[in-house]
Amino acid sequence: MFGIRKNIINAKQINLKIINSVLVFAPLNVVDFILSTPALSALKNSLPPEGKLIVLTSSETLKFALNCSRIDKVLLIKTGNILEIIKTLFYITFKRIDIFINFENNNFLNNIIVFTVNAKIKLAYYKGLESKLFNLIYNLKLHTIDTPQHKIVKYLNLVRFIGANSYDFMPKIKIPEKDKEYALEFLKKHNITASDVIIGIHPTLKDEKKRWTLNKYEQLVKNLIDKYKAKILVFYKQDEKSLFNEFMHIIKNQAIAVDTNDYFKMAAIVRFCNCFICNESDFMHIFSPFTNLVVIWGETDTETNKPAGINHEILKTEDGLANSVPISRVLLHIKRFIG
């Protein structure tokens, strides 16, 4: 196989510069997929110019996969389209792949799918309690460590194991031109210009333990409008509609609703914000490459779940309660981004 020895038992036997194709079982949910893109990029950069990076993923992450510039081909394995699944199974069964890497969890169904992949090298994380089927499938295994890791680092370590070395932790997602055009039309519609102070907020997170109260967000909006005449953009999800309506009533509709649930359209709009204020949610990972974040944190570990990038503020209190973060502290960090 293109200079690769038949029995691969050591990662040092692999030279990525002579590899023609790599298939990655990528994460099936949006946040984890985004956090895997630095590893996917490192892998693609380590291949020769003709080397192809193929990902196996879900319909939920399809648009993100198609807009990750380092991916050459996307296959769907979790989708309501049965024909797509059949096409994928046919491809991974009969198409010869040089290397297969599993970023997903190793459950029984996952392993059955992986078993059909026609690849001489199969790599996954190894915890030590895997089934006989797992040990039969994979000829390369990277042992996990007990110390908690950020998922970006976890995915990167798996590709570093075979020589795709990188210390670039930023997600690799590009915004389609049509979504950039949507954002410009949105700004024009609401008379928002480059001279305005523009602040994005997400006050409607459904998990109350992780969320600032609506009253605190209401006071924040009042302060920002009074001090800076800021244009406040309110982002929300479809299943948060009732909470969003309640919030808009509380603030007497002084903010502007971002009436789209399309992640890329929202990301295109958030690029124009001085900063984006939120609690722990998928928005902080999706928007991290495109704006400055002020994240009001709850009780979870920041080091294993914080958004990528250095120009973000993570605000946490000793009691681990998001609602304990004072408004004055949030305003202080917003002022930095406005200044």
Residue range 54-109, pLDDT digits in tens: 999 999 999 999 999 899 999 999 999 999 999 999 999 999 999 999 999 888 88
And the tokens for 50?
Answer: 């003709």
pLDDT at 5 over 60: no
pLDDT of residue 128: 76
The burial of 196, by beta-carbon neighbours within 10 Å (0-12 exposed, 13-18 middle, 19 or more buried), is given as middle
Mean pLDDT taken over the chain: 93
Question: What residues contact residue 282 under an 8 Å CB cut-off, 6+ apart?
Answer: 30, 31
Q: Which residues pair with 299 in a beta bridge?
A: none
SS3 78: strand
Region of residue 252 (left: phi > 0; alpha: psi -120 to 50; beta: else): left
Three-state DSSP state, 152: helix
Q: What is the pLDDT of residue 8?
A: 65
All structural domains of the chain:
11-160 (3.40.50.2000), 177-338 (3.40.50.2000)
Residue in this structure with the two tokens 């994240």, named with its chain if needed: 295
If you average pLDDT over residues 267-284, what whole number do you get?
Answer: 96
Higher-confidence residue of 251 and 301: namely 251
Is the pLDDT at 219 greater than 80? The verdict is yes
- Identity of residue 32: D
Total residues found in the chain within this entry:
339
* Cα-based distances in Å from 50 to 68, 69, 73: 18, 15, 13
Q: One-letter amino acid identity for 330?
A: V
Q: In what order do the strands lie in the sheet with 73-78?
A: 73-78, 52-58, 21-25, 97-102, 119-126, 140-143
Query: To 5 degrees, how large is the angle CA 279–CA 177–CA 236?
Result: 25
User: Rounded to an integer, what distance in angstroms lies between the CA atom of residue 60 and that of residue 255?
Assistant: 30
Cβ–Cβ under 8 Å, residues 66 and 184: no
Report if pTM > 0.85. Answer: yes
Q: How far is CA 197 from the centre of its chain?
A: 27
Listing DSSP states for 28-45 in one string gives SSHHHHHHHHHHHHHHHH
Rounded Cα–Cα distance for residues 335 and 31 (Å): 29
pLDDT at 108: 82
pLDDT confidence band for 246 (50 / 70 / 90): very high
Mean pLDDT of 315-326: 91
* The pLDDT of residue 6 is above 70: no
- Per residue in 26-47, pLDDT tens? 999 999 999 999 999 999 999 9
Tell me, what's the pLDDT at 9?
64
